[in-house]
C-alpha cells in the first residue's frame, strides 16, 4: 500500500518531535546529576518489588490492582522471551497465534479473530511505547529488567484499547559501570542462535547499552507433498539505549529497537475432510466448467499439510523512544515520553490447505506507523499521591488483502489461470488526544480513596478501496473514570475494592463500507495483597465482575473476508498467586484462575449450515476463556562451592488449562480439550557466578495444543493451527 497520502502524518510527527527536542535542549542546561526516575530498574532488595505499571514507581504489594511481575533473572531461568511463553506463568493470560498474528487474552477479554481491522484488546508496551497492532505481539524481548502484566481495564492510565489489561516489557537501562555478557544456544530442529549486551559509561554523565542477537530454527509443520517445513524461525534483533544525566534532578533516556523476522510461517491446516471439492463452484452456484480437475490431497493430522502455494512472511518493526524525567522538587516531578513505531508486514500463504490451487493469499500487507507523546506531572506528600497528564497519539495504518483464485474453480476459465481479487483494501488514519489524572488520597492512616479519570477524544478517517469511505469517519469522546478504596491492616496486608471503565476503539469493516461500534467495559473488582512470615510467603487474590457492551465479535464471510458484529457479555472471575520461599535456596510459585463467562446478547449464523438464520448465542462461553487454569513452579538451588562449580539449579514449571473454544459455536473441531504441559531445566553456575550452562526441555509431555481454528466455508472444512511439539536445547551464557 502506498503511503503517499500520509505526508500530513509525517509532517505533524516531525513537527511534534522537533518541538520536543528543542524543549529538551532548553531544559537540559538549567538543571543539575539525575536521581532515579519512575522508569528506573526494579528494586532487587529483599521482598520489595518495585514496578512502574501505575506510571510511577511503587511496591507491587502496595498497588490496588491485580498485577503480576517477572524479573529479568527469572525470565532467563524460565526461558521466557515473548508473550507466548509468558502466558503459562500468569493467571488468566492466554495466547494464540496464526502466522504473524497474535491473539492475547486477559480474563476472557481479547480479539477473537484478527482480520487487521479490529485492534487488540490488551495493550502491549515496550519501554513505555504502545504497540498498536496484533502483528507486533510476537516480538522477541531481550535484555529485560522485568515484565509487568496488569489485569483488568486500564482506561484511566493507559486509555483506549486496554479493556483486557496491559503488558509492559521493561528493558534494562544503561549502567554506570562497565558490564557485558552473551548467550548462545542450540535447540532441536536445527535451532541455534545467540545474543549479547554491552553497557557502560561514555563520560561523566552519559551511559550506553547495546544488545542484540539472532535466532534460527527449522519449522515443525511438514508439507507432505514437497518435504518443506513451515513455522520456521529466522529472527534478527537489536537495541541501542543511551542515558544522559546532565544534572542531579534530570534523566534523559533515548532508545531504538529493531527486529526483522522472515520465514515460512503462514499456512491453513485442514482438520476435517473438505465437502466442497470444487470450492466456490458450489458456493456460488457457478457452472461446473471445472469438472475433471484432480481431487485435491489434504491431511487432517496436526502439524502436517498439503500445499501448492507460497507460505512466507516478512515482519519489520522499529521502536524509538525519548524519555525525560525531571524532579522539579522533592514533591513534584515531570515525565515526558515520546514514541515512534514503524511496522511493516507482508504475508503469503496457501489459503485452501490442499495441493490443488484454489486460492492463495498474495502479499497481504499491514503497514503501521505511529507517533505518541505523553507528558505527566506527578508527586506525593503525606496525604496525597497524585498524577496529572496529557497524551497525544496518531497512527497511519493500512491493510490489503489480495487473493488469487483458480479460474476453473470459479467456473470462469481454464484450470490454473490466476484470477486476482482484492478482497480488502483499507487505510485508517487515527488521531487521539487525552487528559488524565490518578489520585490516592489518605483519608486516615489506614484508609485510602482511589480516584482517577481520563477524557479521551478520537478521530478516525478511512480510505476504502482507494477512495474516502462512504461510511464516513469516527469522531468520539469518552470519559473513563476510576473509583475505589484501599484499607491497610498493617504494612503487609491490605484490601481494595475498585470500579473502573475501559474502552476499545471502533473501526471500519474490511469488505463493506460500514463502521462498527467501540467496546465498553465496566469492571468491579476486589482483592487482597499480603505478605506473611517475614516475607517468606506472598499471597495475592482478587475477584471481579465485568459488564461488557458492544463486544467486537469477528465472523468470517466467505470466501475470504470478515465482519465485526456487536454483542454484550458478562464475566465473573477469581484469581490468586502464591509465592513461597521456604528456604534460602528454594522458591515456589503458584497461580490459579476461575472464569465464568457468557454472552448476554449476541447472534451469529452457523457457517457449517449455509443459508441458516442467525442463532441466539446468549449463555454461550466467550472465546479463549477457560473456566480453570493453574500454574506452578519450583526452583531448587543446590550449593556446591567447589573450585569450579558454584551451584546447580533445578527448575520445573507446570501449566494446566481447562477446555476452551476458539469460535462462537462450540464445534468439537474448534474446541481445545483440557490439557497440561510441563517445562524442565537444570542450570550449572560456576564458582565466580559469571558463567552458566543450562539444559532445558519445553512441553515435556509433547502436548499438541490448538492455537487457532475456524470454519472454511469455501471447502466446507475446518482449519486448525496447532502449537509446536516438544523441543529442548542447551545454552551457555557469560557475564563480565
- Determine which of 41-55, 114-128, 319-333, 521-535 has the lowest per-residue pLDDT on average: 41-55
The set of cell numbers assigned to 490 is 498493617
Q: Taking residues 364-390, report their average pLDDT.
A: 95
**Helix (H), strand (E) at residue 655:** strand 645-657
Of the listed ranges 82-91, 125-134, 490-499, 524-533, the one predicted with least confidence? 82-91
Residue with cell 491492616: 489
- Find where cell 471439492 sits: 277
Nearest to 319 by CA among 365, 366, 370, 395: 370
Residues ≥6 apart with Cβ < 8 Å to 490: none
Say which range, 31-40, 279-288, 304-313, has the weakest mean pLDDT.
31-40
Is pLDDT larger for residue 318 or for residue 75?
Answer: 318
Is the confidence at residue 134, as pLDDT, over 50?
Answer: yes
Is the pLDDT assigned to residue 437 strictly greater than 80?
yes
Q: Name the CA radius of gyration of the chain, rounded.
A: 26
C-alpha to C-alpha distance for 678 and 676, rounded to whole angstroms = 7
Q: For residue 293, what pLDDT is reported?
A: 56
226 pLDDT higher than 50 = yes
Q: Which residue has the cell 512472511?
A: 313
C-alpha cell at 274: 473438505
At 3, is the pLDDT very low, low, confident or very high (cuts 50, 70, 90)? Answer: very low
Rounded mean pLDDT, 445-457: 96
Decide which of 568 and 414 is more confident: 568
Closest of 494, 447, 451 to residue 60, by C-alpha: 494
Which of the four pLDDT bands, split at 50, 70 and 90, describes residue 416?
confident
Tell me the helix, strand and coil percentages in the chain, rounded to 5.
Answer: 10, 55, 35
Half-sphere exposure of 129 toward its Cβ, with a 13 Å CA cutoff? 26
Residue pair 602/619 in contact (Cβ under 8 Å)? The answer is: no
d(CA 567, CA 561): 20
Q: What is the pLDDT of residues 683-732, one digit of tens each?
A: 999 999 999 999 999 999 999 999 888 888 777 788 899 999 999 999 99
SS3 for 154? coil
| Residue 110 pLDDT greater than 90, yes or no | no
Torsion of CA 300, 302, 307, 309, to 10 degrees: 130
User: How far is CA 693 from each of CA 3, 186, 213, 640, rounded to the nearest angstrom?
Assistant: 48, 12, 18, 15
Averaged pLDDT for residues 236-261:
95
696 DSSP β-pair partners: 681, 729
Q: What is the C-alpha separation between 477 and 647, in angstroms, rounded?
A: 58
Rounded Cα gap, residues 704 and 674, in angstroms: 12
CB 379 within 8 A of CB 437: no
With contact defined as beta carbons under 8 Å apart, do 94 and 107 qualify?
no
Handedness of CA 494, 499, 505, 511 (dihedral sign): positive
pLDDT at residue 285, as a whole number = 42
pLDDT recorded at residue 26: 31
Q: Give mean pLDDT, residues 229-250.
A: 94
Region 152-160: what's the mean pLDDT? Answer: 90
CATH number of 4-735: 2.40.170.20
Of the listed ranges 33-47, 200-214, 348-362, 652-666, the least confidently predicted one is: 33-47
Residue 370 confidence class, pLDDT cut points 50, 70, 90: very high
Specify the pLDDT at position 527.
Answer: 97
Residue 9: pLDDT band (50, 70, 90) is: very low
Most confident of 104-118, 136-150, 462-476, 608-622: 462-476
User: What are the C-alpha distances in Å from 33 to residues 28, 325, 338, 389?
Assistant: 11, 12, 22, 25
Question: In the structure, what pLDDT confidence band is assigned to residue 136 with cuts at 50, 70 and 90?
Answer: confident
> 42 versus 672: which is more confidently predicted?
672
User: 65, 396 in Cβ contact below 8 A?
Assistant: no
Predicted confidence at residue 290, as pLDDT, reads 44
Q: Mean pLDDT for the chain?
A: 86
SS3 of 93-129: the string is EEEEEECCEEEEEECCEECCCCCCCCCCCEEEEECCE
Angle CA(4)–CA(372)–CA(96) in degrees, nearest 5? Answer: 90
Residue 556: pLDDT band (50, 70, 90) is low
Q: Which pLDDT belongs to residue 13?
A: 44
Torsion angle, alpha carbons of 106, 111, 114, 116, to 10: -110
**Do the beta carbons of residue 614 and residue 599 sit within 8 Å?**
no
**Cell match 525531571: residue?**
326
- State the cell numbers at 622: 466467550
CA distance 363 to 422: 11
599 in Cβ contact with 135 (< 8 Å): no
Q: Specify the residue for cell string 504475508.
A: 347
pLDDT above 70 as % of the chain: 89
Contact 546, 570 (CB under 8 A): yes
Residue 505 near residue 515 (C-beta atoms within 8 A)? no
* pLDDT band at 114; cut points 50, 70, 90: low
Q: Which of 422-436, 558-572, 582-596, 613-627 has the lowest mean pLDDT?
A: 558-572
pLDDT for position 500 = 95
pLDDT at 76 over 90: no
Query: Is the pLDDT assigned to residue 610 strictly greater than 50?
Result: yes
Q: What are the DSSP calls for 303-323, one per residue? A: TEE---S--EEEEEEEEEEEE
Burial class (CB in 10 A: 0-12, 13-18, 19+), 491: exposed
pLDDT digits (tens, 9 = 90+) for 179-213: 999 999 999 999 999 999 999 999 889 999 999 99
pLDDT at residue 560 in the model: 53
Q: Render the burial of 175-185: b for 16+ CB within 10 Å, e for the rest.
A: beeeebbbbeb
Per DSSP (E only), the strands in 172-288 are 179-187, 191-201, 206-217, 221-223, 229-230, 233-247, 250-263
Residue 628: Cβ within 10 Å count: 14
CB of 279 within 8 A of CB of 350?
no
How much is the average pLDDT of 386-406?
Answer: 94
Instruction: Mark out the alpha helices in 28-106 (DSSP H runs).
Output: 72-78, 83-86
Looking at per-residue pLDDT, the higher value among 78 and 286 belongs to 78
Residue 700: CB partners within 8 Å, gap ≥ 6?
Answer: 677, 678, 679, 680, 726
Q: Domain residue spans in the chain? A: 4-735
Confidence bin at 45 (pLDDT 50/70/90): very low
Ramachandran angles phi, psi of 310, nearest 5°: -85, 135
- Whether residue 21 is predicted with pLDDT greater than 80 in this model: the reply is no
According to the model, what pLDDT value does residue 623 have? 92
Q: Are 461 and 489 in contact (CB under 8 A)?
A: no
Q: How far apart are CA 400 and CA 418, in angstroms?
A: 18
Helix or strand holding residue 13 (H, E): helix 7-27
Strand pairing partners for 345?
A: 315
By the 8 A CB rule, do 626 and 671 touch? no
**What is the β-pairing status of strands 129-131 and 144-151?**
unpaired
Higher-confidence residue of 227 and 46: namely 227
Amino acid at each position: 500500500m502506498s503511503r503517499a497520502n500520509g505526508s500530513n502524518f509525517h509532517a505533524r510527527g516531525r513537527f511534534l518531535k522537533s518541538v520536543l527536542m528543542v524543549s529538551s535542549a532548553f531544559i537540559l542546561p538549567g538543571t543539575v546529576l539525575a536521581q532515579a526516575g519512575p522508569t528506573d530498574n526494579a528494586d532487587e532488595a529483599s521482598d520489595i518489588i518495585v514496578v512502574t505499571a501505575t506510571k510511577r514507581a511503587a511496591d507491587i504489594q502496595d498497588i490496588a490492582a491485580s498485577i503480576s511481575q517477572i524479573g529479568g533473572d527469572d525470565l532467563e531461568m524460565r526461558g521466557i522471551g515473548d508473550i507466548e511463553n509468558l502466558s503459562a506463568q500468569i493467571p488468566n493470560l492466554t495466547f494464540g497465534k496464526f502466522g504473524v498474528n497474535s491473539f492475547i487474552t486477559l480474563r476472557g477479554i481479547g480479539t477473537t479473530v484478527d482480520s487487521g481491522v479490529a485492534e487488540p484488546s490488551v495493550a502491549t508496551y515496550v519501554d513505555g511505547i504502545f504497540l498498536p497492532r496484533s502483528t507486533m505481539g510476537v516480538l522477541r524481548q531481550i535484555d529485560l529488567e522485568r515484565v509487568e502484566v496488569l489485569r483488568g481495564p486500564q482506561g484511566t492510565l493507559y486509555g483506549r484499547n486496554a479493556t483486557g489489561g496491559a503488558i509492559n516489557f521493561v528493558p534494562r537501562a544503561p549502567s554506570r559501570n562497565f558490564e557485558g555478557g552473551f548467550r548462545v544456544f542450540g535447540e532441536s530442529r536445527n535451532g541455534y542462535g545467540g545474543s549479547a549486551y554491552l553497557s557502560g559509561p561514555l563520560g561523566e554523565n552519559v551511559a550506553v547499552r547495546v544488545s542484540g542477537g539472532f535466532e534460527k530454527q527449522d519449522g515443525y509443520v511438514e508439507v507432505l507433498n514437497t518435504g518443506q517445513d513451515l513455522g520456521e524461525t529466522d529472527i534478527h534483533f537489536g537495541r541501542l539505549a543511551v542515558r544522559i544525566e546532565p544534572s542531579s534532578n534530570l534523566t534523559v533516556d533515548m532508545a531504538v529497537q529493531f527486529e526483522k523476522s522472515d520465514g515460512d510461517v503462514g499456512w491453513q491446516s485442514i482438520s476435517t475432510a473438505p465437502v466442497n471439492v470444487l470450492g466456490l463452484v458450489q458456493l456460488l452456484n457457478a457452472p461446473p466448467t471445472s469438472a475433471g480437475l484432480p481431487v485435491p490431497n489434504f491431511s487432517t493430522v496436526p502439524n502436517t499439510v498439503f500445499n501448492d502455494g507460497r507460505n512466507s512472511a516478512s515482519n519489520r518493526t522499529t521502536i524509538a523512544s525519548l524519555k525525560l524525567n525531571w524532579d522539579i522538587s522533592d514533591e513534584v516531578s515531570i515525565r515526558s515520553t515520546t514514541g515512534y513505531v514503524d511496522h511493516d508486514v507482508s504475508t503469503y500463504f496457501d489459503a485452501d490447505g490442499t495441493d490443488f490451487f484454489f486460492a492463495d493469499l498474495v502479499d497481504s500487507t499491514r503497514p503501521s506507523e505511529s507517533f505518541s507523546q505523553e507528558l505527566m506531572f506527578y508527586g506525593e506528600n503525606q496525604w496525597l499521591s497524585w498524577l496529572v497528564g496529557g497524551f497525544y497519539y496518531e497512527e497511519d495504518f493500512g491493510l490489503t488483502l489480495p487473493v488469487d483464485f483458480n479460474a476453473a474453480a470459479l467456473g470462469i476459465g481454464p484450470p490454473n489461470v490466476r484470477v486476482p481479487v482484492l478482497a480488502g483494501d483499507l487505510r485508517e488514519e487515527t488521531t487521539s488526544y487525552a487528559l488524565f489524572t490518578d489520585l490516592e488520597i489518605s483519608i486516615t492512616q489506614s484508609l485510602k480513596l482511589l480516584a482517577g479519570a481520563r477524557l479521551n477524544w478520537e478521530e478516525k478517517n478511512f480510505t476504502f478501496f482507494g477512495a474516502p469511505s462512504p461510511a464516513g469517519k469516527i469522531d468520539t469522546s469518552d470519559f473513563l473514570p476510576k473509583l475505589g478504596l484501599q484499607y491497610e491492616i498493617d504494612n503487609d496486608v491490605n484490601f481494595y475494592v475498585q470500579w473502573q471503565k475501559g474502552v476499545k476503539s471502533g473501526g471500519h469493516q474490511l469488505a463493506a463500507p460500514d463502521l462498527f461500534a467501540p467496546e465498553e467495559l465496566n469492571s468491579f473488582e476486589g482483592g487482597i495483597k499480603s505478605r506473611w512470615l517475614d516475607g517468606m510467603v506472598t499471597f495475592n487474590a482478587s475477584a471481579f465482575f465485568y459488564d461488557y457492551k458492544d463486544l467486537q465479535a469477528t465472523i468470517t464471510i466467505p470466501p475470504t473476508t470478515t465482519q465485526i458484529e456487536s454483542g454484550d457479555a458478562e464475566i465473573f472471575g477469581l484469581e490468586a498467586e502464591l509465592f513461597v520461599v521456604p528456604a534460602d535456596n528454594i522458591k515456589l510459585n503458584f497461580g490459579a484462575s476461575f472464569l465464568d463467562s457468557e454472552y448476554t446478547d449476541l447472534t451469529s449464523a452457523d457457517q457449517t449450515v449455509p443459508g441458516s438464520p442467525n442463532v441466539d448465542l446468549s449463555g454461550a462461553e466467550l472465546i479463549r476463556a477457560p473456566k480453570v487454569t493453574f500454574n506452578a513452579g519450583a526452583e531448587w538451588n543446590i550449593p556446591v562451592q567447589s573450585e569450579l562449580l558454584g551451584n546447580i539449579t533445578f527448575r520445573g514449571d507446570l501449566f494446566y488449562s481447562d477446555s476452551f473454544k476458539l469460535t462462537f459455536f462450540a464445534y468439537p473441531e474448534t474446541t481445545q480439550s483440557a490439557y497440561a504441559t510441563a517445562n524442565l531445566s537444570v542450570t550449572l553456575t560456576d564458582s565466580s557466578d559469571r558463567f552458566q550452562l543450562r539444559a532445558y526441555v519445553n512441553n515435556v509431555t509433547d502436548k499438541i495444543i490448538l492455537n487457532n481454528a475456524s470454519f472454511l466455508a469455501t471447502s466446507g472444512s475446518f482449519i486448525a493451527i496447532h502449537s509446536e511439539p516438544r523441543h529442548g536445547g542447551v545454552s551457555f551464557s557469560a557475564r563480565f
